[in-house]
Amino acid sequence: MFPSALPDSSRKKRSREPHQLPAGRHGLSRSFVVENQRHRILAAVADVCHAAGYVSMSVEDIVVTSGVSRRTFYDNFRSKEDVYLAAYDEVTKQLLERVYAAYAEADGLVARVRDSLNAFLTFVAEEPAFADMCIVEVMAAGPNAIERRNQTMAAFAEMIEKAAADELPKSKLPPALTAETLVGGIYEVVYSRVLQGRGAELPELLPDLLFSVVLPYMGQETATSLLKNERRRSKPKAGKQADS
């Protein structure tokens, strides 16, 4: 994950921020410098999107926030849209890697859905700038960005379908559109929370979202029992946080 490019406004003004390379001769390789500059630019996209939104974001905002020159920016990217798409791709790649890892380590439909959902919700809660950029601002970033969003959602739907197909006989599977519909509903729930600045609350929704996904595949009785168990599991964690 690339670090935030926003300077710490609480500190006194200084010549260079921690994320910037030292001035003058520094002995760093050209490849390292190029990669560092690229990461700073991508991080700046997330920070500026989070602070101002995609529509208001300008190349100048990205340049100032990242601490690179305009020439360096255009050496790497063609436009605001181009750099946004690159930042989106980088963040969603890391998100999917985390979700796929949780999925692969789990066994069975319920565990796979639970652990994958938990990985997704935790990522969004812990990375508010990335959440804003990839979930909210993507809707304003044009058709190419929306197509990427659709591809990401399709990847989540495919995971649900595979987990269900691995466990249930074909005759018990709901219509093929079910997983896509579920992912769309979860996206709307997440979108509304992130838009309202309530992304940190998302992990608390895990039991209810898990119920929604499991219900069409395993039925009311199993889904309800699972919901009760998950809510019971989450209560001790809330208690410990309150005590600390």
Give CA separation, 243 vs 11, 206, 233, 239, 240, in Å: 33, 22, 17, 6, 5
DSSP 97-154: HHHHHHHHH--SHHHHHHHHHHHHHHHHHH-HHHHIIIIIGGGGS-HHHHHHHHHHHH
User: In this predicted structure, what is the pLDDT of residue 40?
Assistant: 95
Using DSSP, state whether 185 is helix, strand or coil: helix
pTM of the predicted structure, to 2 decimals: 0.83
For residue 79, give the 3-state DSSP assignment: coil
Would you give the DSSP letter of residue 31?
Answer: H
Q: Tell me the pLDDT of the chain averaged across its residues.
A: 88
Q: For 34-93, what is each residue's pLDDT tens digit?
A: 888 999 999 999 999 999 999 999 999 999 999 999 999 999 999 999 999 999 999 999
Please count the other Cβ atoms lying within 10 Å of the Cβ belonging to residue 75: 12
Amino acid at 17: E
pLDDT band with cut points at 50, 70 and 90 for residue 238: very low
Query: Which of 231, 210, 187 minimizes the C-alpha distance to 108?
Result: 210
Q: What is the pLDDT of residues 142-171, one digit of tens each?
A: 999 999 999 999 999 999 999 999 999 999
80-133: pLDDT as tens digits: 999 999 999 999 999 999 999 999 999 999 999 999 999 999 999 999 999 999
